[in-house]
Amino acid sequence: MTLVARLVLVCLLTAAAVPVYAQQTTGSIAGRVVDDQDAGIPDATVTARNADTGFTRSVTTSASGLYVLAALPVGSYEVSAERSGLTRFQREDIIVNIARTTDLEIVLRVAPLAETITVIAERPVVPVTSSTLGEVVETARIENLPLNGRQFANLAATVPGVGLGFHSDGTKSAQYTPQISGGNGRNVNYVVDGGDNNDDTVGGLLQLFPLEAIQEFNVMTQRFDAEYGRGGAVINVVTKSGTNDLAGSWFTLLRNDALNARTFSERITRFQKQDYRRYQFGGSVGGPIVEDRAHFFAAFERTQQDTTQVVNTLGLFPGEDGTFDVPFRENLFTAKVTATATPEGCRASRGTFELPASESRAAADVQVWLRDIAPSDALRKWFAHDPTRWEVFRRKYRAELKANPEPVQRLRRLERERGVVTLVFAASDTARNNAVALIEVLKHRG
């Protein structure tokens, strides 16, 4: 299939898609249109227009002057209101955030002459139409704050009541997880473009996205609406869409061992500082397909990391001592097409691709070991926390265990007697306190 044919197919599928009215992917503008005496003005026309995409929506006020411009795609809008015999109201740069209502009261005055009143002012900081606690992490914060690892959800830590921690499952060892209101991060409900994006097995994000593809996300910590259905907290994400301007971005980040100190493993084994290289690059592009009607956006990001792990088994498995390569590769790609087929709704179609090759292989090896060996709970949790701990000795361990199971049984006895996690196979920086405790136990036991 040619590229042109694929684009035509995507556009046809987009045109046939269900209109996106749900609050999860959009926001709204609501308020009241009044006169100088604060009396509601019925039958006034209120219009919101997004200058970037040309999207426009109009409503008529009720008998009491109330209006709601619902299901507006996230972005900046110009709002106008008018009624015959009254001045025309116009205000620019009204920001609509995901899953939030922007409150805007409009005053129309009697106008003997035709005139337009343009208002330039900040909207109220405290919303008056929702009791949800939380904060929107907007585009400016995503683009301007330094972010080690470029995992967008880490920016949730800029919201009050949110911290960060390592994910507790081995299949997500390269991820951090937001810990909201004292939770462990596994009970966060992730919603991306209105769709469920939760790993129902171990919690956390199921599909990762390039940072360049994230427009904003709403971190709801308390008292969010029942429409979200589950979770101790909600992170509601909207990805970027194209605009009438063709634009793009490109980035590249490089880190090596020049500013690294020796790790804990290197110090206790008297190894020199090992090589470390981390290279991230990618970019994005977006623009119009048909001006004011259809737009596209695509983003790509690759992470390529090469480092080593020093292993000292304290004589239990001498053949496995030494330094071992721990490579990591990850490719993220997403593309999105949006179309305004009618004034009533905006339609969107998005596809996303992720390939974390080396991480998936290591995680699979951990699962095989957990199934065949059935270790204690403490040992199981330690291995599951980081698949690279298994990578350094996975090739020979199962065969050696069958021939001589006594070393493992001995380690299990030490676990039961001392209550420490068995870290004899690799002393990682993240668990160095437990490693030191076990080493001392082994010294005294001989």
pLDDT of amino acid 326: 82
For the chain, the domains span 3-119, 360-445
pLDDT of amino acid 367: 43
Q: With helix as H, strand as E and coil as C, how does 124-159 read?
A: CCCCCCCCCEEEEECHHHHHHCCCCCCCHHHHHHHC
Three-class secondary structure of residue 365 per DSSP: helix
Which DSSP string do the residues of 337-354 spell out, in sequence order? EEEEEETTEEEEEEEEEE
Element (H, E) at 69: strand 66-73
pLDDT of amino acid 254: 93
Q: How many CB atoms lie within 10 A of CB 335?
A: 19
HSE (side-chain half, CA atoms, 13 Å) at 228: 29
Residue (of 257, 341, 254) closest to 307 by Cα position: 257
Q: How far is CA 360 from CA 165, 208, 219, 354, in A?
A: 21, 14, 29, 11
Residues 61 and 38: beta-carbon distance below 8 Å? no
Q: What is the mean pLDDT of each run of 10 residues along the chain (446 residues)?
A: 47 42 73 93 96 93 95 94 92 92 92 64 62 91 91 93 81 80 85 90 87 95 83 91 95 91 83 90 96 94 89 74 83 92 70 57 41 43 50 44 52 44 36 43 44
pLDDT of amino acid 404: 52
pLDDT of amino acid 15: 41
CATH 2.60.40.1120 correct for 3-119? yes
